[in-house]
């Protein structure tokens, strides 16, 4: 039970981490947005537009980098949840394996008696 709890807490920590990374990148992009475009020679007259575009670009970049880094771990968690829901729906895995074993063909009991 404790191992399942640890896995669930770890999944929540990753979820919170991803949201915080996107939020911090958005704030940093908003703060440095007009300066960022200024280094490329793009001077947007209303600084608010440059800051909003900078926030959006930085948040998307952070989301992409975080998804590449944390994506495989989240895929493993998703596979684990899928298997868990399948086991709950169909019974235990050993019952599933036992049910799908091939049997030798035989006649029904009624046909043997005649």
pLDDT for res 98: 53
Q: Give the closest residue to 45 by CA, choosing from 53, 29, 77.
A: 53
Residue 92 is predicted with a pLDDT of 53
What confidence score (pLDDT) does residue 1 get?
72
What does the pLDDT average to over 90-101? 55
24 vs 52, higher pLDDT: 24
Stretch among 48-52, 80-84, 108-112 having the lowest mean pLDDT: 108-112
Given a contact cutoff of 8 angstroms between Cβ atoms, the answer to whether 22 and 59 are in contact is yes
Q: What is the pLDDT of residue 14?
A: 86
In a domain, 68, yes or no: yes
Q: What φ, ψ does residue 45 adopt, rounded to 5°?
A: -65, -55
Q: Is the pLDDT of residue 102 over 70?
A: no
Split into its structural domains, the chain has a count of 1
Does residue 36 belong to any structural domain of this protein?
Answer: yes
User: Does any domain span residue 111?
Assistant: no
Distances (CA, A) of 47 to 23, 38, 39, 44: 20, 11, 14, 6
- Please, what is the average pLDDT of the chain? 77
Q: Hey, what's the torsion of the CAs at 97, 3, 89, 82, to 10 degrees?
A: -90
Q: What is the pTM of this model?
A: 0.58
**105 falls within a domain:** no
**pLDDT computed for residue 16 by the predictor:** 92
CA atoms within 13 A on the CB side of 103: 6
Q: Does residue 114 lie within any of the structural domains? A: no
Residue 42, both tokens: 């793009």
Query: Range of 34's domain?
Result: 2-100
Segment 71-82, tens digit of pLDDT: 888 888 888 888
Q: Is residue 83 part of a domain?
A: yes
Distance CA 92, CA 64 (A): 38
Question: Is residue 109 included in any domain, yes or no?
Answer: no
Q: Is 91 part of a structural domain of the chain?
A: yes
Contact 24, 61 (CB under 8 A): no
pLDDT at 42: 66
């Amino acid at each position: 039970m404790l191992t399942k709890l640890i896995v669930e807490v770890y999944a929540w920590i990753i979820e919170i981490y991803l949201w915080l990374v996107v939020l911090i990148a958005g704030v940093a992009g908003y703060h440095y947005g007009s300066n960022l475009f200024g280094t490329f020679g793009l001077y947007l007259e209303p600084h608010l537009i440059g800051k909003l575009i900078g926030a959006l670009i930085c948040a998307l970049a952070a989301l992409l980098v975080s998804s590449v880094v944390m994506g495989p771990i989240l895929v493993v968690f998703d596979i684990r949840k899928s298997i868990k829901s399948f086991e709950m729906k169909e019974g235990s895995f050993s019952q599933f394996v036992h049910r799908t074993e091939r049997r030798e063909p035989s006649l029904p009991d009624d046909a043997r008696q005649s």
